Amino acid sequence: MSSSAVPVASARTALSQPSHTNKRYGWLLFGITVATLVCLPILAVAWLALNPATNIWPHLASTVLPTYLFNTLVLMLGVGIGTLVIGVFSAWFVTHYQFPGRQLLSWALLLPFAVPAYVIAHVYTDLLEFAGPVQSLLRDVFGWQGSKDYYFPKIRSLGGAISMLVLVLYPYVYLLARAAFLEQSASILEAAQALGLSRTQRLFRIALPIARPAIAVGLAMALMETLNDFGTVDYFAVRTLTAGLYDVWLGMGNLGGGAQIASLILLFVLCLVGLEKFSRRAQTNAQSGSSRFRSFERVQLRGRKAFLMSLFCALPVILGFVIPAIVLVRYSIIYFDVSWNSDFPTIAWNSISLSMMAAFVAVSVGLLLSYSKRMLNNNLLNVAVLVSSLGYAIPGAVLAIGIMIPFSTFDNALDAFMRKHFDISTGLLLSGSVGILVFAYTVRFLAVAFGGIDSSMKKISPHMDDAARSLGHSSMGILGRVHLPLMRSGILTAALVVFVDGMKELPATLILRPFNFDTLATQVYQFASDELIGESALFSLLIVLVGLLPVILLSKTIDRSRDVYD
């Protein structure tokens, strides 16, 4: 054995010594603790659903539950079809064809990511309702007097909710589909061409089956966001399971019934999580058996085909971002004096500070989880890390009810104890604080932080850890002096994404926020509920502008991919 290998071997041997046992168990305990905290809301919902104070499940099942289920299933089916059609075909077009505006549209198709669904719902309701500019213009042009003289589809409907969600959720499918298409070998597609397959046949018989795992992951993420949506379906009066949860819990005052509906939502989530995990496994197996030999050349289009392809790719951008942005800017200017008052800085700071705290906590926990996984090759820890990443799949409304149950139980028990023994009321220490929102955001977005950080952590060679240990550095010393400097960009990206997601989060914030504590999202919801779309524009515009930050990062990623594959 060479002398250079002695320190490395010594360092590895040292890990197995009894002096390091407590540290190893400490990392394992940390992972299990985080997984337990993430599971706590799910367990609380399941417990209350099985033990409600008043069981109204038979009443729900015989009255409103079939409507909730039908609307939810139709909504998911419509959003699934819409996001697949727009996401897959636009990704295929910008990857394999050259047409006017292709380079701009390749990243502009991500812009609707920045617009929350409830914001775009408010914008299009104002544009397309009976008194809005679109129908008013049609009546002026054609001389119609009232709604009986013509037919115009209702925007506040199940179909309208599907359209709004498709416009902001198709980027999930587009992003992953385009990445999958870029990684496919030109040799495979050319071999299919030599066998007489047309471009359409090559898409459906070759490219789509290879890209199917990635597309399924994007579809699962879009459907999870559909289940999480409350602002759009509530504003459009579409009674889904999420809206029904609010009705039963807050409207009927029955927490047990709300938990039972929440448990039903979790069944949908489990199916989507299973689809995503299976698809990722299939994607790994598929990619391991294929390699990309060389890049492909795009087909140059001209004339009618080029125009139609440009129009197909441009419409989602125009409808999903350009028109909402123009409307929000216009209303922000018109109603600036009304919106920009003494409350606006406070509300904006509430959103910013809350999202910053959540980003810091989620990134810190995600970093320690990733490092503990790196330190220990332990099956129990791997399961704990997997469970910890399930929070993103839990809809905000379900998460809120699951957090409220144990926190309020603790607050009430502590208050009763202090009243009995010391004649002091402690009030709502946990469930009435900003801390419960930070906890909810952390659980909800921990998977986002962990995913970005763990991918950066895996790029660091384990030999660097061995070398640092041979020099006498502790585990935390290695993390601080070796990993953090090398992972700076990955950590900042993860923090930014969590920050933006926190700024847009509505369902959990509506339920868990303290009294007299408003965020940009809740303020938009309140204004829109009062039909004050113009007054909410400035708040909505700020959310959209902040949401552009991760879009810029994704655009840079696409640019790097284009440099590699072009």
Among 52-61, 113-122, 143-152, 554-563, the range with the most confident prediction by mean pLDDT is 113-122
* pLDDT at residue 22, rounded to an integer: 61
Residue 115 covered by a domain: yes
Does any domain span residue 223?
A: yes
- Say if residue 341 is in the same domain as residue 468: yes
Alpha helix positions (H), 101-157: 102-108, 117-128, 133-142
For residues 157 and 57, state if they share a domain. yes
Q: Are residues 150 and 28 in the same domain?
A: no
Those residues whose C-beta lies under 8 Å from the C-beta of residue 268, and which sit 6 or more positions away, are 72, 76, 227, 241
Residue 541 in any domain: the answer is no
> Is the same domain home to 347 and 477?
yes
122 is a domain residue? yes
The answer to whether residue 554 is domain-embedded is no
Domain boundary among 327, 354, 380: 327
In a domain? residue 42 = yes
Same-domain pairing of 223 and 131: yes
Which of 301, 327, 353 is at the close of a domain? 327
Query: Residue 133's domain spans which residues?
Result: 52-327
Lowest mean pLDDT among 315-329, 447-461, 512-526: 447-461
Average confidence score pLDDT of the chain: 83
Confidence of residue 279 (pLDDT cuts 50, 70, 90): low
For 515, the token pair is 């009294």
Cα–Cα distance measured from residue 277 to residue 467, given in angstroms and rounded to the nearest whole number: 35
- Statement to judge: residues 171 and 226 lie in one domain: yes
pLDDT at 185: 67
Q: Which structure tokens are listed for 166?
A: 């498709």
Establish if 119 belongs to a structural domain.
yes
Distance CA(217)–CA(440), nearest Å, equals 24
Domain boundary among 292, 327, 362: 327
Is 362 found in the same domain as 253?
A: no
Q: In the chain, count of helices (H) and strands (E)?
A: 28, 2
> How many domains does the chain fold into?
2
Lowest-pLDDT range, 179-188, 365-374, 423-432?
Answer: 179-188
User: For residue 425, what pLDDT band results from cuts at 50, 70 and 90?
Assistant: confident
- The 3 state secondary structure assigned to 203-271 is HHHHHHHHHHHHHHHHHHHHHHHHHHCCHHHHHCCCCCHHHHHHHHHHHCCCHHHHHHHHHHHHHHHHH
Within 13 Å, how many C-alpha atoms sit on residue 98's CB side? 6
Question: Can you tell me the distance from the alpha carbon of 228 to that of 93, in angstroms, rounded to the nearest whole number?
Answer: 30
What are the DSSP E strand ranges found in 443-551?
none
384 CB contacts (<8 Å, ≥6 apart)?
28, 31, 32, 34, 35
**Tens digits of residue pLDDT in 148-202:** 888 888 899 999 999 999 999 999 899 888 888 887 766 677 676 677 677 777 7
Higher pLDDT, 295 or 403: 403
In the chain, % helix, strand, coil (3-state, to 5) comes to 80, 0, 20
Q: State whether 296 and 405 are in the same domain.
A: no
Residue 472's pLDDT band, with cuts at 50, 70 and 90, is: confident
Average pLDDT over residues 408-437: 85
Kindly report, residue by residue over 57-75, the tens digit of the pLDDT: 888 888 889 999 999 999 9
Question: Which residues, other chains included, contact 303 with Cβ-Cβ below 8 Å and sequence gap of 6+?
Answer: none
pLDDT at 359: 92
Same domain flag for 103 and 145: yes
345, 310: one domain: no
- With contact defined as beta carbons under 8 Å apart, do 455 and 394 qualify? no
Tell me: do 26 and 132 sit in the same domain. no
Q: What is the CATH number of the domain that holds 222?
A: 1.10.3720.10
Residue identified by tokens 């819990």 is: 249
Residue 315 and residue 351 in one domain: no
- Bridge partners of 299, per DSSP, are 97
Supply the DSSP symbol for 44.
H
Pairwise CA distance, residues 276 & 220, whole Å = 6
Residue percentage of the chain with pLDDT more than 70: 89
**In a domain? residue 238:** yes
Q: Return the closest-CA partner of residue 534 out of 520, 522, 524, 542.
A: 524
* CA distance linking residue 470 with residue 343, whole number of Å: 57
Both tokens of 503, joined, read 């700024």
Phi and psi, residue 144, nearest 5°: -75, 145
CA distances in angstroms from 533 to 135, 163, 231, 328, 347, listed in the order given: 18, 19, 14, 9, 17
* Residue among 269, 271, 261, 263 at smallest CA distance from 65: 261
Residues 6+ apart with CB under 8 A from 347: 518, 519, 520, 523, 539
